[in-house]
Amino acid sequence: MTTLDERPATASAAAEQRPARTTLTMAGAINAGLRAAMERDDKVLLMGEDIGALGGVFRVTDGLHKDFGDDRVMDTPLAESGIVGTAIGMAMRGYRPVIEIQFDGFIFPAYDQITTQLAKMHYRSGGAIQLPVVIRVPYAGGIGAIEHHSESPEALFAHTPGLRIITPATPQDGFDMIQQAIASPDPVLFFEPKARYWDKGEVDHGRVEAQLGGIGGASAGTAEMSRARVAREGSDVTLVAYGPTVRLALQSAEAASQAGIDAEVIDLRSISPLDSDTVVKSARKTGRVVVIHEAPTSFGAGAELSSRVHEQAFFHLHAPVLRVGGFHTPYPGAVHEHDYLPSLDRVMDAVDRVMAH
């Protein structure tokens, strides 16, 4: 780890010192993305509970306090509403705050600040005020945690106009999308699938750097992070997932292939705005769609996506769109969470049902 005096003087110098490609965990990739954004723009500040010397509960901010100091990596009181409110004020003064909500279930005390102030200030001011605030939210289950530590509240915020809701599923997207979110002029909720923090993958450090430094800059980055990606090509059924369930969708596609079923997998990446065009295009090709997410299926992102597919691809469908997700109950204790979460068996059951038509 470098000291303050050893830090490169410019972001470009720092980029030159980094290898072009490295293998990183999701947590390490987000950390590297935060570092790159802070090197690029000294208005980027980090705030959150225990993110300083400790490096955060999941160590996503590890080393950043040491290298950037108290003025740019700030530990905060246990007061989520106050953290978001402070970030709003800082954004109004020209800063780009990146705040961490320690766990998904802790975001609710800040719900009013996020949905009433952060989401609406740009509209309320007639476009005069921009609030480039990023809220990092470790979310979803699969880690054996206690109550309020495994929530998937993304649909609650997606229902509020004025917020961008994005979630990476790979280390590459963790690295790229956190920088795109920080560069965006809009408020962004950056949902990080905590069970995927330790997944490893190759990260190309130059891809997003070239994008943000090229024509369009922040606008190009904002557009890119809002696009779904086809993670696996297929022709018989479309599996749509995001964040923590993308890996499950890919595993399900592999299992389906053993039965002669060619499944396409789409990683949504963005929940609001929702890139339904990519999903509808796939639905018209395969005629069958299964949506997978950890949040309860009732009133969730899958319900919105299902409605759009039925509206725009109805005459191409061989079967109704099916959803596999959490049940309409509070998230259970750790001993029961694997009965609650989508599983390979549940996804394959849905695949068998749509393939029966």
Q: 232: helix, coil or strand?
A: strand
CA distance 246 to 165: 16
Q: Which of 149, 318, 328, 336 is catalytic?
A: 149
Q: How far is CA 129 from CA 29, 92, 247, in A?
A: 31, 7, 39
From CA 143, how far away is CA 104, in angstroms rounded? 13
CA–CA distance, 109 with 332 (Å, rounded to integer): 21
Give CA separation, 58 vs 103, 152, 201, 350, 351, in Å: 10, 18, 18, 34, 35
Distance of CA 99 to the CA centre of its chain: 14
- The H-assigned helical ranges of the chain are 11-17, 26-40, 64-68, 80-92, 111-112, 121-124, 154-158, 171-183, 206-213, 218-225, 246-258, 276-286, 301-313, 337-340, 344-355
Residue 149 is among the residues annotated as catalytic for this protein: yes
Q: Which residues are catalytic?
A: 149
